[in-house]
Amino acid sequence: MNQKTCIRCRFSFPATPEFFSIGRGYADGLQSYCKSCKRELSRSWREQNRERHRELCRRWNRARSAEYLSWSNMIERCYNAKTKAYKHYGARGITVCERWFAFENFLADMGPRPRPTDSLDRINNAGNYEPSNCRWAKRVQQMRNTRVNHLLEFNGERRTIAEWSEKLGMPYTTIHERIRRYGWTTEQALTLKAQKGKKP
Ligand SMILES: [Zn+2]
């Protein structure tokens, strides 16, 4: 098996990823420091560059945070025509306020996401991403706000299916099926009691 000599400790090890890290730019694809020297070098680098190291950790943690993902997805939806959601956002003229082009400002205004089930929600669905129009909200609440949700008018009130379902204590699917699939009127769909074992 090929041997490779570490340029720091001068020991020879088998030239495999078990003993050397992968490193582009080396003829055999393996770095010239053995793994234990590599570890020692990075530790002393960290000790001499504490601030820089902390900054890199912060960046790394930030890149994985829910808030950061919400923020970057928001930017993508509005400005990257290659994303699937763009047609519902950027293409419809939905923008992000300039202050929020910086993640730090977005985080400062929105605060940390309160619950893992929350996502970034616009209060007015035709409005832009800006502090006055955004909140962290449960995904269910967000569903109600989407354009595709038709409003059902009954007794002078206009509500989405999800809202009627909550108010009347009727299963969402019952109302939905009655109207979309069976073509019932709103009144029928919201007032008739479901019969056991019978659909809808
Ligand atoms: Zn070594």
**Rounded average pLDDT over 95-102:** 94
- The rounded Å distance from CA 13 to ligand 1 centre is 9
By DSSP bridging, strand 152-154 and strand 134-138 are unpaired
pLDDT of residue 142: 53
Flag whether pLDDT at 98 surpasses 90.
yes
Tell how far the Cα of 5 is from the centroid of ligand 1, in angstroms. 8
Predicted local confidence at residue 81, as pLDDT: 93
Residue for token digits 């699939």? 181
Percent of the chain whose predicted confidence (pLDDT) is above 70:
92
Looking at the chain, how many residues does it have? Answer: 200
pLDDT for 130 beyond 90: yes
Q: How far is the CA of 9 from the centre of ligand 1 (A)?
A: 4
Per-residue pLDDT for 143 more than 80?
no
Q: Is 60 or 150 the better-scoring residue by pLDDT? A: 60
Residues 6+ apart with CB under 8 A from 176: 161
Q: Is the pLDDT score of 153 beyond 80?
A: yes
* Mode of pairing for the β-strands spanning 12-14 and 134-138: unpaired
Query: How far, in Å, is the centroid of ligand 1 from the Cα of 26?
Result: 16
Tens of pLDDT along 50-91? 999 999 988 888 777 889 999 999 999 999 999 888 999 999
Question: Is the pLDDT confidence value at 198 over 60?
Answer: no
Ligand 1 centre from 38 Cα, in Å? Answer: 7
Cα distance between residue 6 and residue 168, in whole Å: 74
Query: 40 C-alpha vs ligand 1 centroid, how far in Å?
Result: 9
Ligand 1: distance of its center to the CA of 24 in Å? 18
Helices (H) and strands (E) in the chain, counts: 8, 8
Q: From the CA of 16, how far away is ligand 1's center (Å)?
A: 14
Q: pTM of the predicted model, to two decimals? A: 0.49
Top-confidence residue, 48 or 167? 48
Share of the chain above pLDDT 90, in %: 46
Give the separation between CA 25 and CA 21, rounded to whole angstroms.
12
- Per-residue model confidence (pLDDT) at position 200: 59
Q: Which residues contact 171 (CB under 8 A, 6 or more apart)?
A: 165, 194
Q: Are 96 and 128 in contact (CB under 8 A)?
A: yes
Closest alpha carbon to 90 in 74, 105, 68: 74
